[in-house]
Amino acid sequence: MEITIPKNFILGAASSAWQTEGWQGKKAGQDSFLDSWYKNEKFVWHDGYGPAVATNFMEKYPEDIHWMKEVKLTHYRTSINWARFFTDYEQLVVDEDYAEHINQVIDGLIEAGVEPMLCLEHYEVPSYLLEKYDGWSSKKVIELYKGYAKIAFERFGDRVKQWFTFNEPIVTQTRCYLDAIRWPHEQNTKKWMLWNYHKVLANAEAIKIFKEGGFEGRIGCILNPEMVYPRSSSVADQKAAQMYDLFFNRIYFDPMVKGAYPEELLTLCDQYDISFDATPAELATIKKYTVDFLGVNQYYPKRVQAPKYAWNPETPFHPEMFYEPFDLPGKQMNSSRGWEIHPEIMYDMAMYLKKNYGDIPWLVSENGMGREQEEQYFDNQGQVADEYRIDFIGQHLYHLLRAVAEGANCEGYMLWAFTDCVSPMNAFKNRYGLIRIELNQERSRSPKHSAFWYRSLIEDRKFILPDPISYR
């Protein structure tokens, strides 16, 4: 079957500062949360690789932009590394060397015909602010973030017209403070909820600065909702799915798009003593300054069922008291990543957004296929024959375009990632890129088969729907 791609449908790619830059030129005291985690728990990062070198984008960005031009990429989303943008986080003294790097990247992208899209925070909160103010626990950090946002808009807003306040704002505190599975392993559910609230407020405050400053373009946030599927049609299983959706999806969607939290969520926060202290003025800001558009990261579904056992009252509150995971028999798996492959999430998430949030513009800001040991797929020319990635993208694009044809306001698809890059703990174990990066001193680049296929999508605006294949 031949699938046609609408003319104005974005076909881009994404990454982040910390996952590509490396520490070349980084000054003392400019560690981000990810840098500190890597320094404190290097042993959990696969083969010890992490942000220290990453892809060495600081020096290699001209080569990456060259490959973007070769692939005919239309848009590239990355972040400004907040921790590297300043030499003084309180007085907001800009590191001019780093700011010039951002200028050069922006100018290089535009010259290559690639529209830059910038995110202000992709887990790069400065460690200084974590140590002094406990990070997003403090409204002082919101004030400093506001100052950072204003400077970024002023410095780069003449060329950057699409901005994101955060990437996946729920992730850091969920891994670190709700589940306590990442450094610093502090279980504190009330702190988890407070960080969620403060990021929602910071998002609204940044939008306020953008609007009042008269900057051209639009501003939104990148969220990572999970399409939730209940095990069955039973009332109990349906309720489990609704509760997961409430605590992990609507917790950001509702205030950022509709301007207000779900009453059910606030009631549960009071009931389980995890409420946050929101002032009427703050709630008014959230109400008024909603997002212009959304980035939606999609990789895998979430399957849940009603819990089988009563919650241990001595265990700190966790939303898991309302649901438990359901392991679907026979599910398609990416054995490298341990994630279910279910391309229908693209259509289902699009319909979820249309039903619950109306005509809000959005795009898939991340989706991709991570595979380990890609060396085994080298062809005779020394290129990675990653037909599995081509099939994965094709299947997901098909279901996304089905939704577009039915009225979903999805503007495009951003592949994760343009090049192989570092991921938390996973490091370079799973490769995601159209462009391969060797782990030598030079971090040498080379295109994979998927790079040429993706170029054909952009140029021809059509593709043949691949047959589903096994990714085991």
pLDDT tens, position by position, 140-182? 999 999 999 999 999 999 999 999 999 999 999 999 999 999 9
Structure-model confidence comparison of residues 335 and 293, the more confident one: 293
For residue 126 the two structure tokens come to 């400065």
Residue 470 lies in a domain: no
What single-letter amino acid sits at 361? Answer: P
CATH number of the domain residue 47 falls in: 3.20.20.80
User: How many domains are there within the chain?
Assistant: 1
Residue 304 lies in a domain: yes
Alpha-carbon span 305 to 321, nearest angstrom: 11
For residue 430 the two structure tokens come to 């799973």
Alpha-carbon span 106 to 136, nearest angstrom: 29
Global model pTM greater than 0.85: yes
Torsion of CA 141, 172, 168, 263, to 10 degrees: -80
Residue 202's domain comprises 2-464
Q: Is 387 a catalytic residue?
A: no
Active-site residue, selected from the candidate residues 121, 205, 226, 366: 366
Helix (H) or strand (E) holding 220: strand 218-223
Residue 472 lies in a domain: no
Residue 292 lies in a domain: yes
Q: Is 366 a catalytic residue?
A: yes
Burial class (CB in 10 A: 0-12, 13-18, 19+), 92: middle
Residue 30 lies in a domain: yes
The tally of CA atoms less than 13 A away on the side-chain side of residue 186 is 8
Alpha-carbon span 199 to 288, nearest angstrom: 16
CA 206 to chain centre: 18
User: In degrees, to the nearest 5, what angle opens at C-alpha 265 toward C-alphas 264 and 266?
Assistant: 95
Active-site residue, selected from the candidate residues 21, 168, 205, 320: 168
Residue 258 lies in a domain: yes
The mean pLDDT value for 321-345 works out to 91
Alpha-carbon span 127 to 366, nearest angstrom: 26
Residue 248: DSSP 8-state: I
What single-letter amino acid sits at 417? Answer: A
Average pLDDT value over all residues in the chain: 96
The pLDDT of residue 472 = 46
Residue 392 lies in a domain: yes
Residue 154 lies in a domain: yes
